[in-house]
């Protein structure tokens, strides 16, 4: 005998079943008593995160209900590329061990109320390419001067969760302007990564150079990294005066005490204020030597100053009695010399540091031994 429907019986049916037992049937009311179970309803199965990457943990979220208010349990079957890779009560799947870039993943869920169950599946997700992370970069040298080539160096590589090979393309700006070949610039070149090195001839003073490193794994671009340096000032000694090489008037840009307007120090052989004179404003020092006899061709007249001092000028007095001129050389004991045409009270700029000098007559003049070598230590004008 068949039962008309699951968990449903009538009084008449019960009587037939019990008739063989002597009719011991309770006084049942006529009609139908129903005990039918309803299977759970699954509204949705979704996966997150979406998009998903190879190192993500996928989580299945299930929305289900039961009209009988039965307690529901769920089991999951995870599929990668159509093959079952894991089953059980866990609603998650770890990409680090279960799937790779390009794989298609979905889950099938069984929702059970203890009597019946319902199945439902999620959407299919394709595992996306993971872009490389931001690298760390620096510029070498870190304190460049004008004329130095610069190189953008990757100091910490990008990480790629798919273990793809990562490369970098560098780009530069100079004071906010894109640096490239052409025009006034030679442009960048490649040492390790594309365009990672600048041309030294392109860098000047007081400039800000910025490098941007853009990583790629061949499929996706990662987040760029930037760093910058400033080239040194043309005013190397920081005294506020540009050197001659930069169009200024500072005659010694290695010494902050030497520049236009600086106080002149006496007897040190240095032109502190860059006006071409060693000791203006200092007390005058004068030395004079006279030849003791007739000075003939290739003969010399020596003069010892007695101390080391800056010699701003020399005066050679020759031929004052007859107007003759001659060729002379004055050699200083510190190694420098100057040659000139001598005549009566001829004056010649020296600008040397010395403690003595020797006058040599090469030709002409000086026929009456009235030859003088005068040296001014300071302020001869």
pLDDT digits over 253-264, tens only?
999 999 999 988
In this structure, which CATH number among 2.60.120.380, 2.170.150.20, 2.60.40.10, 2.60.120.10 belongs to the domain 41-126? 2.60.40.10
pTM flag (> 0.75): no
DSSP H or E run through 13: helix 11-19
Q: Which of 293, 290, 291, 267 is nearest to 280 (CA)?
A: 267
pLDDT score of 324 = 74
- Cα(16)–Cα(296) distance, integer angstroms: 166
Asked if residues 351 and 251 have their Cβ atoms less than 8 Å apart, the reply is no
Asked if residues 357 and 330 have their Cβ atoms less than 8 Å apart, the reply is yes
DSSP 11: H
Average pLDDT over residues 364-373: 54
Average pLDDT over residues 350-374: 71
DSSP 12: H
pLDDT score of 188 = 97
Q: Which residue has the higher pLDDT, 130 or 377?
A: 130
- Cα(242)–Cα(248) distance, integer angstroms: 4
Asked if residues 368 and 290 have their Cβ atoms less than 8 Å apart, the reply is no
Percentage of the chain lying above the pLDDT 90 cut: 57
Lowest mean pLDDT among 82-86, 137-141, 180-184, 296-300: 296-300
Asked if residues 370 and 320 have their Cβ atoms less than 8 Å apart, the reply is yes
- Cα(14)–Cα(335) distance, integer angstroms: 139
Asked if residues 348 and 314 have their Cβ atoms less than 8 Å apart, the reply is yes
Return the CATH architecture of domain 286-376: Sandwich (2.60)
Top-level CATH class of 136-230? Answer: mainly beta
Instruction: Locate CATH 2.60.40.10 in the chain.
Output: 41-126
Tokens linked to 87? 């089953």
Helix runs in 20-111, H state only: 95-98
Instruction: Locate CATH 2.60.120.260 in the chain.
Output: 286-376
């Amino acid at each position: 005998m068949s039962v008309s429907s699951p968990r449903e019986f009538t009084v008449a049916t019960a009587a037939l079943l019990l008739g063989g037992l002597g009719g011991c049937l309770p006084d049942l009311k006529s009609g139908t008593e129903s005990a039918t179970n309803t299977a759970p309803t699954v509204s949705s199965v979704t996966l997150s995160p979406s998009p998903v990457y190879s190192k993500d943990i996928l989580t299945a979220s299930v929305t289900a209900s039961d009209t009988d208010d039965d307690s529901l349990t769920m089991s999951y079957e995870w599929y990668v590329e159509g093959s079952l890779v894991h089953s059980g009560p866990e609603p998650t799947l770890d990409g680090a061990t279960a799937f790779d870039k390009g794989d298609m993943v979905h889950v099938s869920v069984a929702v059970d109320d203890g009597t019946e169950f319902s199945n439902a599946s999620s959407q299919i997700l394709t595992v996306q390419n993971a872009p490389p992370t931001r690298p760390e970069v620096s510029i070498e040298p870190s304190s460049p001067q004008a004329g130095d080539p610069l190189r953008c160096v990757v100091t910490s590589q990008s990480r790629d969760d798919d273990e793809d090979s990562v490369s970098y393309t560098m780009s530069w700006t100079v004071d906010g302007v894109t640096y490239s070949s052409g025009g006034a610039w030679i442009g960048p070149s490649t040492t390790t990564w594309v365009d990672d090195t600048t041309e030294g001839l392109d860098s000047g003073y007081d400039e800000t150079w910025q490098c941007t490193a853009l990583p790629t794994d061949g499929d996706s671009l990662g987040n760029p990294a930037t760093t910058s340096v400033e080239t040194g000032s043309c005013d190397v000694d920081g005294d506020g005066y540009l050197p001659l090489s930069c169009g200024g008037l500072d005659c010694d840009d290695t010494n902050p005490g030497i520049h236009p307007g600086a106080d002149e120090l006496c007897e040190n052989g240095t032109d502190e204020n860059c006006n071409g004179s060693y000791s203006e404003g200092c007390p005058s020092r004068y030395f004079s030597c006279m030849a003791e006899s007739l000075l003939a061709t290739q003969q010399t007249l020596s003069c010892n100053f007695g101390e080391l001092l800056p010699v701003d000028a020399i005066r050679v007095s020759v031929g004052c009695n007859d107007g003759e001129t001659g060729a002379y050389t004055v050699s200083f004991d510190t190694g420098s010399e100057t040659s000139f045409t001598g005549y009566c009270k001829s004056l010649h700029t020296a600008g040397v540091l010395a403690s003595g000098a020797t006058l040599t007559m090469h030709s002409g003049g000086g026929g009456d031994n009235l030859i003088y070598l005068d040296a001014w230590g300071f302020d001869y004008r």
